[in-house]
Structure 1
Amino acid sequence: MDDPTPLEALQARHRKEQRDLVARSTQKKKSATKKTRKGVNDECERLEQELKERQAQELAELNGETTEDAPADPLEPADEVEANGLEADVEKLSLATSQPDAPAQPPSEQPAGPKKKQNRAKARLARRAAEQEALIAQAEEEAANMPDQREVEREQMKSHFGKYGLQEKEIRADGHCLYAAIADQMETSGLGLKPRIEPKIHEEQGLPVYKTVRHAAADFIEGNPDDFVPFMEEPINQYLQKIRNTGEWGGHMELLALAKTYGVRINVLHGDGRVDKIEPEGNPADAKEIWLGYYKHNFGLGEHYNSLRKTP
């Protein structure tokens, strides 16, 4: 098979970029919440416009043209573009394609005056724009038929609850979800929020309980820096400040610190049925257990933890 020409290779890449963008935009819109929907839609429109402009520029450069001032065909003089611009050319092209056998108007019915000759370079751009729109429509249809990852993950998670005797307690989807889920588990299981290193704040001060858990994690990391600093990408003081005083999400290091300071085994259930076990200090076989549910796709902010309580 002959190697593709530069134009064919460029068009193939453009088609793939268009399909990828539509698939990515569709998934973003499916995952959006009421609060984030407008921002997601604006972002998708911006990305689509940027892709169109870049691809048009690449096609023009390949043909030795520019999108602002495409040269006329050498055999015909350049004419002024009509007010409707590229959209009018696309519409004319679509009509001509859909009615190939339509008879020409009788001479008596044709409008009077000289007929303008179309700029062939602009006609090529119009044809490519029409092809691009068709590819986008096809990619949107393919993306619409893709499974909803949020719903799939939700159903998968529910299917595992019975196996472990669990029921889900929804936790607010914000940056505090890991700590709030831990607090719910410690309280409802009767274990209480009593870490090995007494936190510098107390819930009696009127602060939400997740704040106590945040400080418990930060204090344990601060007291055992050698176990955590090698995995940090920033100075430990900045890292601890984020845990204590911001809505920074928690992850594996914070789970490890909390398992050790509270002396509990933290089981994290995933949608695929996998259970990550974060062990307490010394890995005692008789350690108390608490359960969290980890979601990757199901909430607008991204990764999320819910509390999984034992069924009565």
Structure 2
Amino acid sequence: MEELQAKHRKEQRDLQARITQKKKNATKKTRKAVNDECDRLQQDLKAQQELEIAQLNGDAVATTTEDLDNLALGNDQEAAPANTVAKVVDVIAKPTPTPVPTQENNENTRSKKPNRQKARLARREAERAAQAEIAAEEAAKQTDHRGNEKETMEAAFKRLGLHEIEINPDGHCLYSAIACQLDSLGLGLRPDPARIVLQPSTLSRVDTVTSPKHDGYRAVRAVTADYITEHQDDFVPFMEDPVDEYVKKIRLTAEWGGQLELQAIARAYGVEINVLQGDGRVEKIEPGHTYGLGEHYNALAQNTVAA
């Protein structure tokens, strides 16, 4: 009996260590499941030890809770005498033999073990959800710069008597906005020959535009590229790429346009371009209006006055 009690104390210490580790690794989402599992493990060990004590006494009886408590975790004191360990609740004629483990029993036992992979996945999902919640809270606290900028722009439209013409944000927006306003002003997409001599390929692009609003950007891009090519000395100091590569991007890609391109367009077409900035300021590049919101350009037109 003394040897069995020592074995029981060791089993309880080992179980307590396992339970401590499980609860330490539990998350807020998995804590209830872990606690339930720990309770089950303690109950299983208690039942197993009661059975072993009863079998040792030869009567297959269960011990009372009071007697098992004498085997407190970590208690290495001398065990109580064998005849005080269990109180007989029921007696059978013969001792119950210890069942011989079988392959089926072993498989059932293994299947009852906690699924560590599922617990790990659940813990990761809980952490991901917590991080997403924190990110959402931080985003809600941030200033809506985009919304504030939009309000500023709308106030400027009202002050200047303008209305917005939406341009597709496809990388061609600057050139599309210019094409739209050149057409609305009746200037057309072909610049004055006295200002620039266009390449044959550029003339072909200008002549094959089906709608200034939808594909007019192709003509404006080509005119811009031709002007920069003819006046390289005015633009090269501000370029990071070789001029040939730079104008190729303007002519053949959806590369965004900026200050250099606006300057070339204003000179090629002989117009003054007013860019309404996100803070309400108007930047004059050298008549038509264009405005940029961040890196996107839309077109503006004067409001019509009812008769």
TM-score interval for Structure 1 and Structure 2 normalised by the shorter chain:
0.5 to 0.7
- Cα distance in 1 for partners of 2:155, 2:123 equals 51
- 1:89 is matched with 26
Conserved? CA contact 2:29–2:126, under 8 Å:
no
Aligned residues: 208
Matches within 5 A, 1:89-168: 89-91=26-28, 94-95=31-32, 112=47, 134=130, 136-168=132-164
Q: Is the 8 A contact 1:90 1:129 kept in 2?
A: no
Which 4+ stretches in 1 moved above 4 angstroms? 75-79, 85-88, 91-97, 107-114, 126-136
Q: Secondary structure at the match of 1:248?
A: coil
- Between Structure 1 and Structure 2, the one with more strand by share is 1
* Bigger helix fraction: 2
Q: Structure 1 residue 164: deviation in Å?
A: 1.4
Q: Give the Cα separation in 2 of the matches to 1:189 and 1:146.
A: 42
Q: Give the AA of the match of 2:198.
A: P
Aligned to 1:268: 275
1:221 counterpart = 2:228: yes
TM-score by length of 1: 0.55
Q: Give the counterpart of 1:293 among 288, 291, 294.
A: 291
Q: Does 2:293 align with 1:309?
A: no
8 Å contact from structure 1 (residues 199, 212) kept in 2: no
What is the percent sequence identity of the aligned residues? 45
Deviation track 1:73-99 (CA, whole Å, cap 9, x = no partner) reads xx98997xx9xx9997325774499x9
Q: What is the CA-CA distance between 1:142 and the residue it aligns to? A: 2.5
3-state DSSP of counterpart to 2:26: helix
Q: Tell me, what secondary structure is at the counterpart of 1:168?
A: strand
> Does the 8 Å CA contact 2:29/2:123 hold for their aligned counterparts?
no
Match of 1:211 among 206, 214, 218: 218
Q: Is the 8 A contact 1:171 1:307 kept in 2?
A: yes
Query: TM-score w.r.t. structure 2 length?
Result: 0.55
- Could you tell me how far 1:248 is from its partner in structure 2? 1.1
Structure 1 residue 108 displacement after superposition? 6.4
| Runs of at least 5 residues in structure 1 that lack an aligned partner in the other structure | 1-74, 115-125, 280-288, 297-302
What secondary structure, in the 3-state scheme, does the structure 1 residue paired with 2:298 have?
strand
Kindly report which structure 2 residues correspond to 1:29-48, keeping only aligned pairs within 5 A, or say none. none
C-alpha displacement at 1:243, in angstroms?
Answer: 0.7
Partners of 2:174 and 2:24 in 1: CA distance: 51
> Which of structures 1 and 2 has the bigger CA Rg?
2
What's the CA shift for 1:113?
5.7
Tell me the equivalent position of 1:71: none
Q: Does 1:197 align with 2:196?
A: yes
With a CA cutoff of 8 Å and minimum separation of 6, indicate the structure with the bigger relative contact order.
Answer: 1
Residue pair 1:165, 1:310 contacting (<8 A) in 2 also: yes
